[in-house]
C-alpha cells in the first residue's frame, strides 16, 4: 500500500511495465504508488490520464494515491473531493511533510467527510535538515550528519493530536523509531483513528547497514538502532502497526552511486519483501504466517478507501499467489524485474518466494 513507480515523469527510474513486473515477481497483485511524480497527482485530469495509462500497460492492479496539497508544496489543499470522485484510495504527500498544522487539520476534516485516510510522511524537516542517516553512534563514527528519531515522533504526535480533535483518519507512514511506536500504541488505546505501516527494511536492517552498503542503505526515515527494530517487531506483533509495506523507491545508478551525503534517499523492495517477512517475522515466531500475510493483504485493504482485496471467498477478485516457503535464492538486483538496482540486500541468502501470481484469474508469474 506504499510504493513509488515514478510514473509520470521519471521513466529512467521505473515505468509501469518494469514496476508492475517487479511487484508481481515479489507476489504483489495490487499496489498503491504515491504521488511524488512529475506532474504531481494533485488534480483529476492528471489522475485520470495515469489511470488510463495503467489500464493499458500494467500487469497488476495499480491504484494511484493523490497528493494532500497542490504540487506537494504544503501550501494549499489539492481538490480532495474531485480526486475522491476518481476513486483514490488515500491522500499522501509522501516524501514531503505538511508542515502547517492548520493545513493538516483542514485536510483531516475534509478527508473524514470523504472517508479516505490521510497518509503522512511524519518528519519535522527542521530537525532532519542536512541529515543523511540516523543520528546515532554509527553516524558519529562515520562523520555523517544525522537525523534524530525525534524528527519522526514530534510530527507523529502533532498528527495524532489533530486526528483525535477532528476524528479524521491519520495513517502514519513507514514507522521506524521506538518512541513513535509507543505513541501510536497509546493513541490506539485512547480510541484515536490512527493506523500505521512499517517497511521490511526497517525491521530487517539497522543503521550499521550504512557502513556496509553506503548510499544503498540510505532511506528516509533512516534505518535506526536495534532497539528500534525490536520495537517495530513488537508493534507488528501486538497490532500497533497494521501493515507491512515496501516503500519501493527506484533510482538510477548515476543518482544512487554517489557519496552518502548527496545520494538520494530510497531503495527498491518489491522483490525481497516477502522473503524478509518469512526470515525476520514468521520463521522466528514474531508473527504467524496468517498474521504476516494479513499485514500485506487484508489489513491494507481495510485501511484504503474502496479497495476490496485480500479475501478468499466466492465472488472476490481472483488475485492469488502461491508461495514456496522453502524455496532458497540469493538476492541479485542485476536479475530483478525492476529497472533500478538500488537494493541493500545484494548477496543475501533468501528463503520463501511467490512462485505463481494470479491477477484477475490470469497467471502473470509462473515457474
Give all domains of the chain, ordered by start, each with its CATH number: 16-365 (3.20.20.140)
Q: 302-332, pLDDT tens digit by residue?
A: 999 999 999 999 999 999 999 999 999 999 9
CA angle at 116 for the pair 299 and 114, rounded to the nearest 5°: 145
Give the pLDDT score at 279.
97
Q: Decide: helix, strand or coil at residue 290.
A: helix
Q: Using the CB atoms, write b or e for 208-232: b if 16+ within 10 Å.
A: ebbeebbbbbbbbbbbbbeebbebb
Q: Decide: helix, strand or coil at residue 200.
A: coil
Residue 241 half-sphere exposure toward CB, CA atoms < 13 A: 31
Q: Which of 324, 310, 316 is nearest to 356 (CA)?
A: 324
Q: Which residues contact 241 (CB under 8 A, 6 or more apart)?
A: 175, 181, 184, 196, 197, 198, 232, 235, 295
Using 50, 70 and 90 to split pLDDT, how confident is the model at 340?
A: very high
Using 50, 70 and 90 to split pLDDT, how confident is the model at 81?
A: very high
Torsions phi, psi for 112 (to 5 deg): -60, -45
- Of 93, 247, 259, 324, the active-site residue reads 247
- What is the pTM for the complete model shown? 0.97
Q: How far is CA 194 from CA 23, 187, 191, 221, 316, in A?
A: 27, 7, 8, 19, 27
Would you say 335 and 45 are in contact if contact means Cβ atoms under 8 Å apart?
no
3-state secondary structure 102-157: HHHHHHHHHHHHHCCCEEECCCCHHHHCCCCEECCHHHHHHCCCEECCHHHHHHHH
Would you say 259 and 15 are in contact if contact means Cβ atoms under 8 Å apart?
no
What average pLDDT does range 281-303 have in this prediction?
A: 98
247 as an active site residue: the answer is: yes
- Read off the DSSP letter of residue 264: P
Q: Using the CB atoms, write b or e for 63-86: b if 16+ within 10 Å.
A: bbbbbbbeebebeebbebeebbeb
Q: What percent of the chain has pLDDT over 90?
A: 99
Q: Which residues contact 284 (CB under 8 A, 6 or more apart)?
A: none
Give the pLDDT score at 278.
97
Q: 120-177, pLDDT tens digit by residue?
A: 999 999 999 999 999 999 999 999 999 999 999 999 999 999 999 999 999 999 999 9
Instruction: Give the cell for residue 39.
Output: 506532474
Amino acid at each position: 500500500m506504499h510504493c513509488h513507480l515514478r510514473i509520470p515523469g521519471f521513466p529512467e527510474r521505473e515505468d509501469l511495465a518494469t514496476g508492475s513486473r517487479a511487484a508481481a515477481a515479489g507476489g504483489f497483485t495490487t499496489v498503491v504508488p504515491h504521488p511524488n511524480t512529475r506532474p504531481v497527482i494533485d488534480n483529476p485530469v492528471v489522475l485520470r490520464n495515469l489511470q488510463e495509462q495503467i489500464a493499458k500497460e500494467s500487469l497488476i492492479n495499480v491504484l494511484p494515491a493523490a497528493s494532500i496539497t497542490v504540487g506537494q508544496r504544503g501550501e494549499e489543499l489539492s481538490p480532495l473531493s474531485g480526486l475522491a470522485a476518481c476513486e483514490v484510495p488515500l491522500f499522501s504527500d509522501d516524501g514531503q511533510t505538511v508542515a502547517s498544522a492548520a493545513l493538516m487539520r483542514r485536510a483531516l476534516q475534509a478527508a473524514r467527510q470523504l472517508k479516505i485516510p490521510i497518509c503522512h510522511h511524519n518528519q519535522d524537516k527542521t530537525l532532519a535538515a542536512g541529515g543523511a542517516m540516523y543520528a546515532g553512534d554509527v553516524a558519529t563514527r562515520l562523520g555523517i550528519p544525522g537525523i534524530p528519531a525525534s524528527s519522526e515522533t514530534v510530527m507523529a504526535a502533532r498528527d495524532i493530536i489533530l486526528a483525535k480533535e477532528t476524528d479524521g483518519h491519520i495513517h502514519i507512514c513507514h514507522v521506524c523509531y521506538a518512541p513513535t511506536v509507543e505513541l501510536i500504541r497509546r493513541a490506539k488505546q485512547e480510541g484515536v483513528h490512527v493506523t500505521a505501516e512499517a517497511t521490511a527494511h526497517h525491521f530487517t536492517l539497522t543503521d550499521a547497514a550504512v557502513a556496509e552498503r553506503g548510499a544503498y542503505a540510505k532511506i528516509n526515515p533512516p534505518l535506526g538502532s536495534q532497539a528500534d527494530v525490536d520495537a517495530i517487531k513488537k508493534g507488528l506483533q501486538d497490532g500497533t502497526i497494521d501493515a507491512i509495506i515496501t516503500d519501493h523507491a527506484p533510482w538510477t545508478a548515476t543518482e544512487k552511486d554517489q557519496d552518502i551525503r548527496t545520494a538520494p534517499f530510497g531503495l527498491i523492495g518489491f522483490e525481497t519483501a516477502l522473503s524478509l517477512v518469512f526470515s525476520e517475522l514468521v520463521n522466528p515466531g514474531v508473527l504467524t504466517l496468517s498474521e504476516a500475510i494479513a499485514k500485506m493483504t487484508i489489513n491494507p485493504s481495510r485501511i484504503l478507501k474502496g479497495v476490496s482485496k485480500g479475501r478468499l471467498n466466492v465472488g472476490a477478485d481472483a488475485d492469488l499467489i502461491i508461495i514456496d516457503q522453502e524455496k532458497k535464492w540469493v538476492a541479485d538486483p542485476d536479475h530483478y524485474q525492476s529497472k533500478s538496482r538500488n537494493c541493500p540486500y545484494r548477496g543475501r541468502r533468501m528463503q520463501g518466494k511467490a512462485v505463481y501470481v494470479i491477477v484477475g484469474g490470469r497467471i502473470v508469474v509462473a515457474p
